[in-house]
Chain A
C-alpha cells in the first residue's frame, strides 16, 4: 500500500516581526497536518488565516485547562482562527500545536480545523475551528507574535487511498 504521510515544507521563525506562511499548497492530499513548535519573543495569542482571508469568516470552539481550572469558550464571526491562547515567551519552553486541516481541498464543504496545543509550564488546550468558505486551501498564515529562530513549523500532507 502506498505510503501517504508526506512532508510538504518546513520553516522557522527569524526573530523578526512577521507572519509564517505556507503558500502554493498542492491540492493532491486529503488532509493537512501542521506541526508547530512555537517560541515567541513576547506573550501573545496565536492565530491562523487561510488563503489570506481577513474577513469575519472564522469561528472557534475551545476548551482549556491550566492545572487549576478548566473552561470552554467560543469566538464567532471572527477574522482569525484562534489556536493558542497567549503563548508565554520563555527561552526553554515551547508551545506545541498539531493542526489537522480536514478535507482541505474539497470545494463542496466549509473547512474544519481541529488542533491540540500545550505549553508544558502553563496549560493544555484544544480548538475546533470553521472557515466558512468552500475554496480549496492553498495557503496558511500563522501570526500573532514574533517567532524566534527556535520556532519551527512543518506542514505534512496525508493522502487517502
Chain B
C-alpha cells in the first residue's frame, strides 16, 4: 500500500518535492549487526571502506547486566584506541548536568531488570573519519526512557589520532549486549 499523508480535521494533504537537508541518495548501508539469543560482549564493524565522507551509526541496546540501572554504551576505534576527551550534556528527568571526562561513552543500554522489551537508542555521527590530516571527532545523541526513569545525553568525543577509522568496536560498561540489540553502520558520500 502506498503511504498516505494527510491531515485530520478536514484539512487536505499536499504532496511536495522531496527536498531536505539530508543527503538523500548519498546515504548507504555498510553493515548491520543484530545480537542473537546468546548475547554478545562486543559489536564490531571492521574493514570500513574509506570511500565515504562521514559515517553514521544507529542502534538500540540492552544489557544482560546492570540490574535496574542503565549501563553505558562505549565505542573504541581501530585497535582498541580510546577517546581522549568526552564532553556531554546529560538529563535524567529531574536534573541536567554538563561535564568532561575521558571515556568512550556514546549512549546507554537498558539494564536487565529495567522495563521489558525496552532498549536505549544511539545515533552517532563520525565526521571526516578517513581524513588522515585531522583528529577524529564523534557526536552522539542518545537516550532511553523506561516510563518512570530515563537518560538523555548529547555527547562529543575526541580521538586524538589522525589515523583513518577502519574499525568501530562497541561494548558495554556492564554485561553483554542482549538479544535484539542492533546497530547499523551507514556511510554518507
Contact = CB atoms under 8 A, between A and B. Distances in A.
Interface of A: 1-14, 16-26, 30-31, 33, 35, 59-65, 70-74, 76-77, 100, 102-103, 106, 108-110, 112, 114, 116, 126-130, 132, 134, 141, 152, 154-156, 158-161
A51 B119 CA distance: 20
B149 to A, nearest CB: 8
Interface in B1-31: 1-31
Contact of B7 (A18, A33, A65, A155): A18
Given A7-B24, A63-B91, A112-B118, A132 B147 contact: yes
B112 interface: no
Interface in B71-109: 89-96, 98
B20 A154 contact: yes
B141 A156 contact: no
Rank and list the top 10 A-B pairs by shortest CB-CB distance, nearest first. Answer: A18-B9, A72-B91, A63-B91, A61-B150, A128-B143, A74-B93, A5-B27, A7-B18, A160-B184, A161-B29
Contacts of B20: 7, 35, 154, 156
Nearest to B33: A160
B144 interface: yes
Interface of B: 1-32, 58-60, 89-96, 98, 115, 117-121, 123, 141-152, 154, 180, 182, 184, 186-187
A114 B1 CA distance: 27
Given A72-B92, A114-B121, A161-B29, A13 B146 contact: no
A5 B92 CA distance: 31
Nearest to A147: B7
Given A24-B1, A71-B96, A19 B8 contact: yes
Nearest to B179: A108
B93 A73 contact: yes
Contact of A60 (B14, B23, B94, B145): B145
Contacts of B60: 102-103, 109, 112
A20 B7 contact: yes
Contact of B5 (A22, A63, A127): A22
A128 B121 contact: yes
A103 to B, nearest CB: 6
A24 B14 CA distance: 16
A112 B144 contact: yes
Contacts of A17: 9
A100 B147 contact: no
